[in-house]
Structure 1
Amino acid sequence: MQRIIAKDYFNDLLENNATVLLPNQGEKLELKDIDFTFKVTSEMSNDQLGVYKIMLKPMAIGAKLHYHRFMDETFIVDKGILTVQAGEEIIKAPPGSIVYVPRFTPHSFQNDTDEFVELTLLFNPSQKREGFFRGLLETLSEDPIDPEKYLKLYNKYDSFPVDTSNMIPTRD
């Protein structure tokens, strides 16, 4: 006689799957003008949320005007003044500001000051954004930067430049 194990369809199975990252913890990638620290990754959140600490050096461009089809992006300014373009509007966001950018909203961000800007960046869902940041490190470290490779990386990770002739995050 085969024994049948009854399943509990009425009670939740509680588990502690929490992750705590202290201020200096997380994988850090350093580019010339911008640093990324992974806090909550796609792997941790089952691809539902990505949380990243970003540090923009003075006069650094985070990203030129682009949009996402399948994810929303939220900027939380921790230190400094972050310049964000959302649609036609240009916002000078001081510390404590939150800029929520839903999908299909053209946006860009940069540091237009002589001070460092620190922000927390959230993507939901996260769309394996860590792969994008790793690819960005590789692509932007090349000299010269290959626009076709950059665009391929952008498109793979749900980023679409508004103007492909002005998509590389450098000041002209």
Structure 2
Amino acid sequence: MNNIVDTKTDYFNDVLENRATVIVPDEGEQLLLKDIEFTLKVTSEMSNDQLGVYKITLNPMAIGAKLHYHRFMDETFIVDKGELTIQVGEQVFKAGKGAIVYVPRFTPHGFQNDTEEKVELTLLFNPSQKREGFFRGLQETLSEEPIDPKKYLKLYNKYDSFPVDTSNMIPKRD
């Protein structure tokens, strides 16, 4: 008996499918740290690792990240509310509502809130490199007292983040 299955592959026409996701403002997994709130909007799983979209709220005087860079992904910051302080290389910018800061891979950058008001931003990673794991690990690592620098660096490196200065990588004010 011959078990050959005759399958016809159409090389000339697109196969359309509806895989869209609509995420309303209050939807998404929320991760809370002491001074920062992350809401996972478009995840690596949803986008096949192509795009990550996250809402970030920085409380007054909160540090999002010290100077670091990525090897395999680009990062885009869109300021939705407040004034974000962002360092790119040696330059420091004050980015107000509506500002967009595009940070390609291998560009050292860090960001923080230097004001007494909350800062809200949309953060995009392309490709996303399973960034949600980073945020979940960050929640765990930064909740520990004291913060273990070796564990923090291991998490950073696993998710394509490389501190410029490992002696000043923990996001806290000196």
Partner of 1:18: 20
Partner of 1:145: 147
1:94 paired to 2:96: yes
TM-score by length of 2: 0.97
TM-score by length of 1: 0.98
Structure 1 runs (4+) deviating above 6 angstroms are: none
**Number of matched pairs:** 172
Structure 1 residue 3, shift from structure 2 partner: 5.7
**Which amino acid is 1:81 matched to?**
E
Partner of 2:112: 110
**Which amino acid is 1:170 matched to?**
K
What are the Cα deviations for residues 25-60 of structure 1, in whole angstroms up to 9, with x where unaligned? 000000000000000000000001000000000000
What are the Cα deviations for residues 47-103 of structure 1, in whole angstroms up to 9, with x where unaligned? 010000000000000000000011000000000000000011100000000000000
What is the CA–CA distance in structure 1 between the aligned matches of 2:34 and 2:115, rounded to whole Å?
16
Structure 1 residue 5, shift from structure 2 partner: 3.0
Structure 1 residue 168, shift from structure 2 partner: 0.2
Partner of 1:46: 48
Give % identity.
Answer: 80
Structure 1 residue 6, shift from structure 2 partner: 1.7
What is the CA–CA distance in structure 1 between the aligned matches of 2:137 and 2:102, rounded to whole Å?
25
Structure 1 residue 9, shift from structure 2 partner: 1.2
Partner of 1:77: 79
Partner of 1:127: 129
What are the Cα deviations for residues 83-135 of structure 1, in whole angstroms up to 9, with x where unaligned? 00001110000000000000000000000000000000000000000000000
Partner of 1:155: 157
User: Structure 1, unaligned stretches of length 5 or more?
Assistant: none
What is the CA–CA distance in structure 2 between the aligned matches of 1:106 and 1:3, rounded to whole Å?
54
What is the CA–CA distance in structure 2 between the aligned matches of 1:6 and 1:64, rounded to whole Å?
54
